[in-house]
Structure 1
Amino acid sequence: MSSSITTVAVLPPAVREYYDRLLLMTAYPTLIYTKFAQKRVLPEKMGDTIVFRRYARLPTVPIPLVDGVTPPGSPLSVTDLKARVSFYGNFVTVTNQVELTVEDRVLNESARLLAQNLAQTMDEVTRDVLASTSSVLQCSNGVNGQTPTELTKADIDAAVKTLLGNDAEMISEVVVASNQIGTTPIRPAFWGYIDTDLLDDLEAVSNFVSSSQYPGNQKVVLDSEWGATGNVRWLYTSVGSVSAATPPVYNNFIIGKEAYAVVNLRSETGEFYIKPLGSAGSADPLNQRGSVGWQHPFVARILNDAFMINLMATHS
């Protein structure tokens, strides 16, 4: 029998063993990589490819007009970026013996797990697309002797300087100072994505400010926000972009406005399917199998490499 089918061997009935009726928490990583993407929904029956169009800036004309002479003008320059959706999906099969003998609402729990599975899959697909950017800086100001080194203020500042030189726009506005003790104002900021393995190195950066020290209402702190360094606010995840090298090299993405996009076909939530026992017809003559699953058409696309930086680092 297929190992992907949930049977009583996987979920023993409660009559065999006593168990806590409150199910234990399933550990989930925080999902961050789609948070600051441009979000688009491709309408149904309109194809599987979306085109993003960007116009180039017009050249400046610091030359006075000559009386009676028409200047040459400037042609428009357009760049089209295409993104084609791919289909992703997963499912869980449950046997009739599980439904008859196990007291948990197994299909309900399966649906919850699959919803998280969908979101994490889209997050990781986006993460891997960001890792393909051609805009890369390697940390070089640390002291761990590796190439790249650990994160430092100088390296983060260099990434910010590059983004500003590319006219990338920051995403978050300034968080102004308050009269609360132990707080500090936060600059307008780009957003950084960092793996949990590097949080101790991030805290060691000389100008690091913990999110607990942000002034005013803590509603300005996003879920999974660890803190800020200068003009970068940082979100963490346990499934960051990391190489298989020794030592591992971590990709820390620093993002400006309109750096990348995610596209969903028809809706942003995906489609969920519940197949009851016997729904397979003659393929399941004894009504032994049911299933619950999801399918989602999705694509992530870098829109402008100049508006993001992959700041590569190792751990101290």
Structure 2
Amino acid sequence: MTILLSRRIAGELSPAEAEELRLALDRNPELQTLLAAIDGVQSATPADISQKDDRQMLEAALRQFRQRTTGLRVVTRTADRNEIVELPGTANTIPSGRGRRAKILRWSAAAIVMLATAGIYLYKGTEKPTPRTAPTYREVAAKYGTRSYVDLPDGSRLWLNAGSKVRYSEGFADGKRELTLAGEAFFDVKHDPEHPFLIHAGGVDVKVLGTSLNVRAYPGDSVIETTLIQGRAEIELPGKEASPIALRPNEKVTMRNETLAVQKDNDQRTASQPTYQRRAVTSDPTYKTIIETSWVEDKLVFRKEPFRKVAAQLERWYNIRFQL
């Protein structure tokens, strides 16, 4: 299209090219606006500028408009000297002065400004948008009897306990740091206040701002446990009017597994406020480790746990089955 406009300015359009330009004008109102701006600039040409200079400056202006809209450096050559002069839109301005050269410079600058103003919408309107490809997802799983370690795209790290898996978009597409967890994982999240780290687990979301924490949300378990070791985190409840539950360092929040609750309620969430328990966590005096995260150190520590829960953990840890 730029070639057709340049040939029209020079008066060199062939009949076929003139018809092509006419059809383009009918399809594109913005192009009509651009052409009207060109005609307006031509009609405003100073009287003491020759037809040759007039055509050269308009063609230069059109080239500069194209460079301006594509983000390139805006430069041009004067009509009577072989030198480069910065035009509006760059760091420098057109020098003031008297005489024919100054008029040419100012006229050329005005032409470019008018063309850019009228044509910026044409360029953006005709530019083909880059097709967005659907993000690809990565799933990492730790089978029964194994544990896995994962380096995440943002520099965060996680450890997966036996019988667990996580799913996230490759490279954390669109800058979103989020993943879905089924099972248990320990997270060491890289601090980034502008991009909170979001963990979807069970029926809740755990929002993290640079911290280390353990999330336990096995699909078959009746409860979800979130243990914050250090930093900041909060538990959000989708579909609930309750405020997020803020966690403090060395604290664990336990609540029922909302995924199971929805299934039991025939896909109807109860209107009551969610119930949860909050308690402090400390290092076990005998084994010198926090019980909730001892598995990361290849230890299993139990204190006052029902035997069925102990058996479930041992089944995942050793990949065996207990008959009770």
TM-score, normalised relative to structure 1: 0.16
Q: Which has the higher strand share?
A: 1
Q: Which has the higher helix share?
A: 2
Higher relative contact order (CA 8 A, sep 6+): 1
Q: Select the structure of larger CA radius of gyration.
A: 2
TM-score, normalised relative to structure 2: 0.16
